[in-house]
């Protein structure tokens, strides 16, 4: 693969997402977040994905039509970055429109996920893009329960009685460790930054039926094995550090062994650096701007995202917007 290699590091790459239609999805991604080609009811827009269940594609330019996996084969270090040691892309970013409640669920860790067809674990971070008044989510156990109590409550439908029900507001951030029981509530739009995994163990699903007319399957035995039964105090799980300048404000939403994620509020402009270690993924969640790099400029609007190659160097975002920047 030699096409575009000479200047591939000098340009940002607009990505076309892949869409997921789940029964709890809504219409906001299509009507408010620029997904004009999405199905009428769309639950998830995978903005950065290189997974067997969904691949993002470069939308335009000399590399148009190439997937993120193709880019890694073209030049893993130059595009993905030196921190990506293997040919398994490490990160996934989604926009999620929860018109209805999602199932109560849990994700495995790297260790417990090894039993699931070689998948990575799934640590994830939620950023609340928008929400309806009184919207809530479930986040961890509110008290210690035994495995036996968990299974009983999951089966009789009382599981929510021992979970933290947390009201949310725009801009809230939650980090969901593997093993943490959780669920997104109705009326919330979320940006989810996570390990590149699609393994979910469903615990409780409100007796909902799938498109086949049958109750959606639960995974109680596997969930019981990977769950962390330790209670969580949600207020203790929100940690942000912020730096503010006249032209922009940058907030580190979360940093862990798997990824780092920042919220950047651009008032006029901000200059960022891809240092060779990792790509940057830039997702616009409010406003609009121009991205400038190596003499080229591209617009970015709410709901759009770009992949910035690891070897790009400096780039500038100019306008009035809020973007989420993630990297490994």
Q: How far is residue 143's CA from residue 307's CA, in Å, rounded to a whole number?
A: 41
Q: How far is residue 242's CA from residue 61's CA, in Å, rounded to a whole number?
A: 35
The SS3 of residue 77 is helix
pLDDT at 187: 98
Residues 120 and 143 in one domain: yes
Residues 313 and 204 in one domain: no
75-79, 233-237, 238-242, 323-327: least confident range: 238-242
99 located within any domain: yes
289 located within any domain: yes
C-alpha distances (whole Å) from 206 to each of 215, 218, 225 are 10, 11, 22
Residues 230 and 251 in one domain: no
Residues 271 and 202 in one domain: no
159 located within any domain: yes
21-68 pLDDT, tens digit per residue, is: 999 999 999 999 999 999 999 999 999 999 999 999 999 888 999 999
Active-site residue, 202 included? yes
Residues 267 and 230 in one domain: no
The SS3 of residue 221 is helix
Between β-strands 296-301 and 104-106, what pairing exists: parallel, antiparallel or unpaired?
unpaired
The domain boundary residue, chosen from 237, 262, 281: 237
pLDDT above 70 for 164: yes
Number of domains present in the structure of the chain:
2
The number of residues in the chain equals 328
Residues 221 and 284 in one domain: no
The band of 9, judged by pLDDT with boundaries at 50, 70 and 90, is confident
232, 182 Cβ separation under 8 angstroms: no
Residues 245 and 217 in one domain: no
Residues 217 and 265 in one domain: no
Q: State the CATH number of the domain containing residue 103.
A: 2.60.120.10
> In the numeric block, which tokens belong to residue 209?
């039926």
pLDDT at 76: 94
Give the end-to-end CA distance of the chain in Å, rounded to a whole number: 25
The domain boundary residue, chosen from 172, 203, 237: 237
Residues 102 and 233 in one domain: yes
Residues 254 and 189 in one domain: no
pLDDT at 2: 43
Residues 309 and 210 in one domain: no
Q: How far is residue 140's CA from residue 25's CA, in Å, rounded to a whole number?
A: 23
Residues 128 and 187 in one domain: yes
The domain boundary residue, chosen from 237, 254, 270: 237
11 located within any domain: no
Q: Which of 202, 263, 322, 327 is catalytic?
A: 202
152-161, 185-194, 235-244: least confident range: 235-244
> In the numeric block, which tokens belong to residue 232?
């969580």
What does the buried/exposed string (b/e) look like for 235-260 if buried means 16 or more CB atoms within 10 Å of the residue's CB? Answer: eebeeeeeeeeeebbbbebbeeebbb
245 located within any domain: yes
326: β partners:
261, 281
Alpha-carbon dihedral 188, 325, 265, 64, rounded to 10 degrees: -90
314 located within any domain: yes
pLDDT above 80 for 237: no
**What domain range is 247 assigned to?**
241-327
Sorted by sequence, the CB contacts under 8 Å of residue 306 that are 6+ apart come out as: 12, 13, 14, 15, 281, 282, 291, 298, 300
């Amino acid at each position: 693969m030699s096409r575009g290699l000479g200047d591939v590091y000098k340009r940002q790459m607009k990505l076309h997402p892949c869409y997921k239609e789940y029964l709890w999805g809504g219409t906001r991604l299509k009507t408010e977040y620029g997904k004009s080609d999405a199905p009428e009811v769309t639950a998830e827009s995978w903005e950065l994905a290189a997974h067997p269940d969904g691949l993002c594609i470069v939308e335009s330019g000399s590399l148009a039509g190439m997937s993120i996996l193709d880019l890694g084969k073209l030049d893993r270090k130059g595009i993905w970055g030196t921190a990506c040691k293997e040919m398994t892309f490490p990160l996934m970013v989604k926009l999620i429109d929860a018109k209805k409640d999602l199932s109560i669920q849990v994700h495995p860790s790297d260790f417990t996920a090894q039993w699931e067809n070689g998948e990575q674990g799934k640590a994830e971070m939620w950023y609340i893009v928008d929400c309806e008044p009184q919207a809530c989510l479930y986040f961890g156990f509110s008290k210690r329960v035994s495995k036996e109590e968990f299974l009983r409550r999951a089966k009789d439908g009382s599981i929510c009685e021992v979970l933290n029900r947390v009201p949310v507001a725009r801009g809230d951030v939650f980090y969901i460790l593997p093993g943490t029981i959780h669920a997104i509530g109705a009326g919330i739009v979320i940006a989810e930054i996570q390990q590149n995994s699609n393994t979910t163990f469903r615990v409780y699903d409100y007796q909902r039926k799938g498109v086949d007319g049958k109750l959606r399957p639960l995974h109680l035995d596997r969930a019981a094995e990977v769950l962390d039964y330790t209670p969580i105090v949600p207020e203790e799980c929100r940690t942000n550090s912020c730096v503010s300048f006249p032209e922009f404000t940058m907030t580190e939403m979360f940093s862990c062994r798997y990824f780092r994620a920042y919220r950047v509020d651009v008032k006029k402009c901000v200059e960022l650096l891809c240092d060779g270690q990792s790509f940057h993924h830039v997702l616009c969640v409010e406003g609009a701007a121009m991205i400038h790099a190596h003499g080229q400029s591209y617009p970015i609007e709410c709901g759009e995202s770009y992949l910035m190659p690891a070897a790009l160097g400096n780039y500038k975002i100019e306008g009035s917007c809020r973007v989420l920047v993630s990297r490994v």
